[in-house]
Amino acid sequence: MRNIEPAVLKRLYQEMLRIRLIEERIAELYPMEEMRCPIHLCIGQEAVAVGLCAHLTRDDYVLSGHRSHGHYLAKGGDLKRMMAELFGKVTGCSKGKGGSMHMLDLEAGFLGATPIVGGTIPIAVGAAFGTVMQGENRVTAAFFGDAAVEEGVFHESLNFAALRTLPVVFVCENNLYSVLSPLSVRQPSGREIYHLAQGHGVESFQADGNDVVEVYNLAGRAISKARRGDGPTFLEFKTYRWREHCGPNYDIDLGYRTEDEFQEWRSRCPIDRLKKHLKGKGLITDLEAEDMENSLRAEIDEAVEFAGESPFPEVEALEQHIFAP
């Protein structure tokens, strides 16, 4: 896969697998009704988060929306604190006040994820604006879905980012649906999403979001460009959500999308694709892959245990943090 060092490829593989296994564990645990908050799993979409964040340092910033687990993890967000957050525990990354839809890890440069569609796009632009005002050389990435470009605030944000040549990378994960609504009832056919961004004067690309190498390469260019001070880039990645919009289950039975479509995307699993390549090139052995998976599972076990054993917030926390002291 085009001039990428084997070590990098292996890391991309491991990161994607890690997110997949974490999400699957969440799906497994969710029916026990201990994680009492809405969850939006990113199974099937891991490549975008991983390929993009591979180029970011801890000093860079990321913002996201409702489907943020992958972005949080790829940016280096703490797994134990994420699990605890889903369980509503005081040791969670938002101290139990946010749940799955409101996560942050400042040490990792994960500036926050909130579930109002489009809501964090201007905030990402603002973060980039703030870093420029302070003479810092940081890049900010905003992750959002295909529905977010329908919100007015998306356009206002791109306009300003272009106007000020801000170091932002806009990352649109186009998974074809908003909840149960296909693109066809929301956006004109024949008009590509990335063309919208071009209209705002933001250099734009569209690529296969299930090919982590393609994501990695495009992201590398966009992020270097931002770092050089050459302004924003918009990246549209076509991908697919495997599970239901919100919750742990599969939902093909609802009838809003077809089994064929699902199977077609499933056969293009970003993790399987890279694994096949790695094995074909002799870059990873079965034993190595198994070891990797086992150690990831051990890490996840530990995080779940941590979350389970952690205490809930005390009643005093209710009226804490309304104002900064």
Partner 1 sequence: MHRELKYSQAVHEAIELCMARDRSVYVMGLGVPDPKGIFGTTLGLKDKFGAGRVLDMPASENGMTGVAIGSALVGMRPIMTHQRIDFALLALDQIAGQAANWHYMFGGQARVPLVIRMIIGRGWGQGPQHSQSLHAWFAHIPGLKVVMPATPYDVKGLLIASVEDDNPVVFIEHRWLHNITGDVPGGLYRVPLGRSRVAREGDDLTIATASYMTLEALRAAEMLAEEGLNAEVIDLRTLKPLDEAPILDSVRKTGRLIVADTGWRSVGFSAEVVARVTEAALDHLKAPPRRVTLPDCPTPTSRALADFYYPSARDIVATAWGMMGLEVELPVMQETAGALLDVPDKSFTGPF
Positions that interact with ligand TPP (CB under 6 A): 66-67, 115-117, 144-148, 175, 177-179, 241, 245
Quick note: the x/- pattern for Mg ion over 151-190, rule CB under 5 A, is ------------------------x-x-------------
Shortest CB 309 distance to partner 1, Å: 15
201-to-146, 196, 206, 217, 255 alpha-carbon distances in Å: 19, 9, 15, 22, 39
Shortest CB 115 distance to ligand TPP, Å: 5
The β-bridge relationship of strands 61-64 and 110-113 is parallel
Residue 292 binding target from ligand TPP, partner 1, Mg ion, none, CB below 5 to 8 Å by type = none
Shortest CB 242 distance to ligand TPP, Å: 12
Contact criterion met (CB below 8 Å) for 22 and 53: no
Q: Which of 89, 138, 238, 273 binds partner 1 (CB under 8 A)?
A: 89
Please give the size of the binding site for Mg ion, defined by CB under 5 A: 4
Q: How is residue 134 annotated by DSSP? A: T
- For 216-253, the DSSP string reads HHHHHHHHHHHHTT---EEEEEE----S-SSSSS--GG
Shortest CB 54 distance to partner 1, Å: 29
Please give the size of the binding site for partner 1, defined by CB under 8 A: 49
Residue 235 — φ and ψ, nearest 5°? -120, 120
Q: Is 100 in the site for partner 1 (CB under 8 A)?
A: yes
Q: Which of 51, 109, 115, 209 binds partner 1 (CB under 8 A)?
A: 115
Displacement of CA 274 from its chain's centroid (Å): 19
Contacts made by residues 94-99, CB under 8 angstroms, sequence distance 24+ = 95/313, 95/317, 95/321, 96/312, 96/313, 96/317, 97/313, 97/317, 97/321, 99/37, 99/38
Residue 318 binding target from ligand TPP, partner 1, Mg ion, none, CB below 5 to 8 Å by type = partner 1
275-to-8, 176, 207, 297, 301 alpha-carbon distances in Å: 13, 25, 20, 18, 23
Q: Which residues contact 267 (CB under 8 A, 6 or more apart)?
A: none
Q: Is 287 in the site for partner 1 (CB under 8 A)?
A: no
Closest CB to partner 1 among residues 106, 116: 116
Shortest CB 245 distance to ligand TPP, Å: 6
Q: Which of 7, 133, 322, 324 binds partner 1 (CB under 8 A)?
A: 322
Pick out residues in 158-187 that bind partner 1 (CB under 8 A): 178-181, 185-187
Sheet holding 110-113, edge to edge: 110-113, 61-64, 140-145, 168-174, 233-238, 203-208
Q: Which of 228, 254, 285, 288 binds partner 1 (CB under 8 A)?
A: 254
Q: Is 145 in the site for Mg ion (CB under 5 A)?
A: yes
Q: How is residue 119 annotated by DSSP? A: T
Shortest CB 243 distance to partner 1, Å: 12
Contact footprint for partner 1 (CB under 8 A): 30, 33, 35-39, 88-90, 92, 94, 96-102, 114-118, 147-148, 150-153, 178-181, 185-187, 246-247, 254-256, 312-313, 315, 317-319, 322
